[in-house]
Amino acid sequence: MLQKQKTAAAFVAHIKNRRPDLEVFTYVGSRHLQDPHFIGKDGRPSEVDVVAGWEKAGGSFGDYLATQIAGNWKAWKHDRARLGKIDGLNIYEKINPDDHRLNGMFRHNAREGLYHDAARSQKRSDLLSTPHAALFGFFGEGWIGLSSKVNFWYDKNWTAPDFNPLGPYAAASFALAQGLRDRQTISAGSWTVKYFGTEVAMRKFARAFRSLPPVEMKDVPSGADTARVRWIVYKGKRYVSAVSRIPFAQALAIDGRKITLEPFELASFTDDGKAAPSVVGNPPADYVRWVSGRIAEYKKLCTEVRALNPRAVPPAYAKVAQKAEAFLKAGKPYAAEIEAAYGLLEEMRIRKRILDGPKLSAPRVAKGPKPSDNLDAWPKGASDIRADGAENLVGHVYFPTSWTGPSDLSMRVRLAHDGKRLYIGIEVRDNVAHAKDSVTIYLSRNGYLDWISKEKKYDGQYTIKRSSSAGESEKYGPFSFTCREIDGGYIVTGSAPLDKLGVKPGGSIGMLFFASDIDNDGNHPAKHRWALKQAMMVPNEPLFPYWNDARTCGKVVVER
């Protein structure tokens, strides 16, 4: 805003004139705390755009992300060159080390793994070349199942920064920042910073960091790229630091001094030396095996996806595996891990899930069931799918999910066709009746197989409320459904002509079955019509927001 008003330089000068002892700084990173870089709006590319662009450009995925992020900085007028012209203004590199977990139960975004790569991109950090870093982690503070009478944040759902790792891995975010560049300052941005259980690792890292001189240190070549070693002579003393970049313990010898680095540890020492230290070390075998396993998993997924659709694995993916293996062979497992990017591994998992997702069968029967039939009376051979375990519960930050067992919420789904109509029967066990309890059937003819698009809408979404349980048939798009109460729940049965659904025997269609449970027990912010006590899905393998993305569907195979 100050830049837009052309008052930023004057603002900084005013502060420094009045208080020369104060540091004035700004963060360069994502535009807003809660906004990922590749959100696909305000001129920014979407995650799909970024992946598609890299597939054409090839090369290091982290480097490509850095160029895209630099484009964002320029568009936002946050680039280093522009900000560096403001005298007295320091620049902090804002790193979101766990941005890939940003409200995972809220956004349902399978492509967030690429932000993990963005945070670890050396080129991204080099483009800013600042000795200061600000770390922002994220956690979702949403509905936690308490009553509004006792929880003053009853209806305050928000996102705030925090850090994920615990115990010996607690310094991971700090080791990430220090591994990219020697820092003069590392700040943890948060208004809750939950360090309980992480004090030992955090204090150990802080003690070593604060022992280093207030100047940038020089890198020392090391036999192991799993640690970053630096040195400087300052006021007659030689300072040496070594930071681990991996979640495995490793051993180094610095000028013959043996040092064992715990996961993500920063170690430092001071002596009277005047020359750059010699460093000897080998990557830990456990870490090498772990990286090798990741590369093998990546190659296997590429092979499996290529068999499903060759277009889904452009040549750039194979080159990544080749380069990662070359790094590994050269004794650079950390470079191999970065090359075999998490975002690309996740992209292959996404495409496999879309192209070869969960399958549900609609067998052919001689005669379809009657609307009044209970599900036990359906024709022999109709599929019978039971969802009565916690694995079928839907995860969402707004759902308290105080589930007590199958009688609280469970589903049974039956499917069949007679060559002309598709028949659906859904029995919901729900021991507390509420007018807003419902079953929603989502329908996708082809979009559920689309692995390219940013988003793919459903072709149909049909919600049958429990309150419509008069047992009379009602029209829902191509379907006719009835709903009636039973002891401990309700049954929804219906059918639709196959030709209206656009599917023939031998073909398939995308479908998702969703049961909403309310209970009206004060455990959810009821003003939101979609905020539930809990919900179940069949199938329950969401990649993207299930409420508006067809790729959550399973494939219903209409058998010949």
Query: Are 155 and 18 found together in one domain?
Result: yes
The single-letter DSSP state of residue 197 is: T
> Residue 60 falls within a domain, yes or no?
yes
φ/ψ of residue 203, rounded to 5: -70, -35
Query: Are 388 and 502 found together in one domain?
Result: yes
Query: Are 19 and 140 found together in one domain?
Result: yes
Picking from 151, 179, 210, the residue at the C-terminal end of a domain is 210
Query: Are 183 and 311 found together in one domain?
Result: no
| pLDDT single digits (tens) 440-487 | 999 999 999 999 998 999 999 999 999 876 778 899 999 999 999 999
**Per-residue pLDDT at 113:** 85
Q: How many CB atoms lie within 10 A of CB 530?
A: 12
**Per-residue pLDDT at 144:** 44
Which helix (DSSP H) or strand (DSSP E) does residue 355 occupy? helix 342-355
Query: Are 437 and 488 found together in one domain?
Result: yes
CA nearest 195: which of 153, 164, 158, 159?
164
As a dihedral over the C-alpha atoms of residue 334, residue 338, residue 339, residue 342, rounded to 10 degrees, the angle is: 130
Query: Are 345 and 367 found together in one domain?
Result: no
The single-letter DSSP state of residue 516 is: E
> Residue 195 falls within a domain, yes or no?
yes
Query: Are 378 and 403 found together in one domain?
Result: yes
Query: Are 514 and 420 found together in one domain?
Result: yes
Domain extent at residue 177? 8-210
| pLDDT single digits (tens) 354-366 | 999 999 999 999 9
Picking from 184, 210, 236, the residue at the C-terminal end of a domain is 210
pLDDT per residue as tens, the chain (560 positions): 677 777 889 999 999 999 999 999 998 988 776 677 888 887 789 999 999 999 999 999 999 999 999 999 998 888 888 898 999 999 999 998 865 554 455 557 788 889 899 999 999 999 999 999 998 865 544 444 445 555 444 444 444 445 556 678 888 989 999 999 999 999 886 555 555 556 788 889 999 999 999 999 999 988 789 999 999 999 999 999 999 999 999 999 999 999 999 999 999 999 999 999 999 999 999 999 999 999 999 999 999 999 999 999 999 999 999 999 999 999 999 999 999 999 999 999 999 999 999 999 999 999 999 888 899 999 999 999 999 999 999 877 667 778 999 999 999 999 999 999 999 999 999 999 988 899 999 999 999 999 999 899 999 999 999 987 677 889 999 999 999 999 999 999 999 999 999 999 999 999 999 999 988 766 555 455 566 788 999 999 988 888 899 999 999 999 99
Task: Measure the N-to-C terminal CA separation of the chain; round to a whole number of Å.
Answer: 64
- Render the burial of 419-437: b for 16+ CB within 10 Å, e for the rest: eebbbbbbbbbbeebbebb
What does the alpha-carbon distance between residue 244 and residue 178 come to, in Å, rounded to a whole number? 9
Q: Which residue, chain included where needed, has tokens 């020492």?
A: 269
CATH, residue 379: 2.60.40.1190
Domains identified in the chain, total number = 3
Query: Are 301 and 416 found together in one domain?
Result: no
* 488 contacts 431 by C-beta, under 8 angstroms: yes
**Per-residue pLDDT at 240:** 98
Query: Are 185 and 42 found together in one domain?
Result: yes
Using a cut of 0.75, tell me whether the model's pTM lies above it: yes
> Residue 45 falls within a domain, yes or no?
yes
Picking from 340, 355, 370, the residue at the C-terminal end of a domain is 355
Query: Are 338 and 453 found together in one domain?
Result: no
**Per-residue pLDDT at 208:** 96
Token digits for 469? Answer: 């349980």
What does the alpha-carbon distance between residue 355 and residue 310 come to, in Å, rounded to a whole number? 11
